[in-house]
Every structure is written in structure tokens, then in C-alpha cells.
Amino acid sequence: MMHLAQVNIARMKAPIDSEVMAGFVARLDEINALADGSSGFVWRLQGDEGNAMYLRPYDDDRIIFNFSVWETFDDLKQFVYRTVHAELLRDRKSWFEQFDGAYVALYRVGDAIYATADTCTHGEASLSEEGMLTGKTVECTFHFGTFDVTTGEPTGMPCEIPLKTYPVKVIDDQVCIEV
Ligand code: FES
């Protein structure tokens, strides 16, 4: 049986034991317990304290990392967007910084993979997190605007500005994006 591995990498705005991060840290046990009991949950990285906050795989001490495994994408989506976990997603800018460089959303349409800028041109929504892909159309669930992911062109109001697109090549099962 195939499973889905999900990795999160984020840079905290301040040390984990700071006042800035207190709201995030206070909800860790609750959210991890929710994941553990969710349909389709298989495994998550954790240490003695029941979470992955101890792990620092990068030189930067503010970068945290977690990793979980799910039976299907729908199981993961249900947990991430349709439970109280979504509250943490909405508040993430209070705790985490934006990384430098391009944020890219990837889409599988049939056998092809397409890449666009991740941020909806109508607002601040992340299409990789808030978008719903149907065929070659991604709908931004913030205000229900749509784009053709193969061209970046807006196809439904209120979106009027095209998304930047990036060339994608698949080489030996590796997805390579030119940004
Ligand atoms: S932020 Fe995407 S449609 Fe408004």
C-alpha cells in the first residue's frame, strides 16, 4: 500500500521558549493528539516529549521541521483544513517568517505537472494550502476566484491578474522547477 509523506519546514520568528511562540507551543499537544486520532494517520516524527520540536536539521536554530505519514491525501487534507488545525494555519504569520525566494504551488493535471506562484493574485491566500484543483482549474477558497494552472490565466472573478508560471521538468522521477 502506498502512503503519503508530508514534511513541514518553518522558521520561527523568535526562540521556541519566547513569548512570541507561546501561543503555538501551547497548542502542540492538542494538535498532535488530534493528528494521532485522525482517520488515515499512520505515523509522525516525535521524541520523548511527543513532538518534533527538539529536531534542528539546519544550522539555523529557529528552523523547525516535522514529518508525518498518512494513508491518503484526502486524510491529510481533512486533518489540515477541516479540523481545529486550520486555526493554526490561519495564525501562522504570527509565529513563522516567510522564507526568501519563490513560493511555488505544484499541480498534477493528468500525467503532467505544472507550477505557479503560490500566492493568489487577488490576496494573500496560499494556493498550495487553500486551493482546490479540479482538472486544470485551481479555485482559491478565500473568495472562490479561479486560475488555469497550465497558463496562470485567471478564469473566474474576483481574480484578474495572472499567476506567474514556472517551467517544470521531470527527470528520473525528480520534479525540477526553474524559478
Ligand atoms: S485571495 Fe484568492 S480569490 Fe481572493
pLDDT in tens, 153-164: 999 999 999 999
Name the residue of 140, 155, 160, 163 to mutate for ligand 1: max ligand atoms within 8 A of Cβ: 140
Residue 118: which CATH number?
2.102.10.10
pLDDT at position 164: 96
Q: What pLDDT sits at residue 148?
A: 98
* 123 pocket-lining for ligand 1 (C-beta < 6 Å): yes
Tens-place pLDDT, residues 109-122: 999 999 999 999 99
CA angle at 147 for the pair 3 and 9, rounded to the nearest 5° = 40
Let me know whether 42 and 87 are in one domain.
yes
Whether ligand 1 lies within 6 angstroms of the CB of 156 is answered as: no
Q: Taking the complete model, does pTM exceed 0.75, yes or no? A: no
- Do 10 and 82 belong together in one domain? yes
- The confidence score (pLDDT) of residue 56 equals 87
Instruction: Tell me the three cell numbers of residue 128.
Output: 498550495
88 and 141, same domain (yes or no): no
What CA–CA distance (Å, rounded) separates 176 from 4?
A: 20
Distances (CA, A) of 77 to 21, 81, 108, 128, 177: 25, 6, 16, 11, 24
**Is 128 in the same domain as 89?**
no
Mean of pLDDT values over 117-134: 91
Number of domains in the chain: 2
Domain that holds residue 146: 104-177
State whether 73 and 109 are in the same domain: no
Beta carbon of 157 within 6 Å of any ligand 1 atom: no
> 82 C-alpha to center of ligand 1: Å?
19
pLDDT for 31 equals: 96
pLDDT of residue 73: 84
Last residue of a domain, one of 97, 130, 164: 97
Q: What is the pLDDT of residue 47?
A: 87
**Atom 1 of ligand 1: nearest residue by CA position:** 123
Do 71 and 116 lie in one domain? The reply is no
**Is the CB–ligand 1 distance for residue 127 below 6 Å?**
no
Residues 16, 87: one domain? yes
Q: How far is the CA of 36 from the centre of ligand 1 (A)?
A: 32
pLDDT digits (tens, 9 = 90+) for 143-154: 999 999 999 999
Residue 166 has pLDDT above 90, yes or no: yes
Q: Based on the domain organization, do 113 and 92 belong to the same domain?
A: no
Last residue of a domain, one of 97, 125, 140: 97
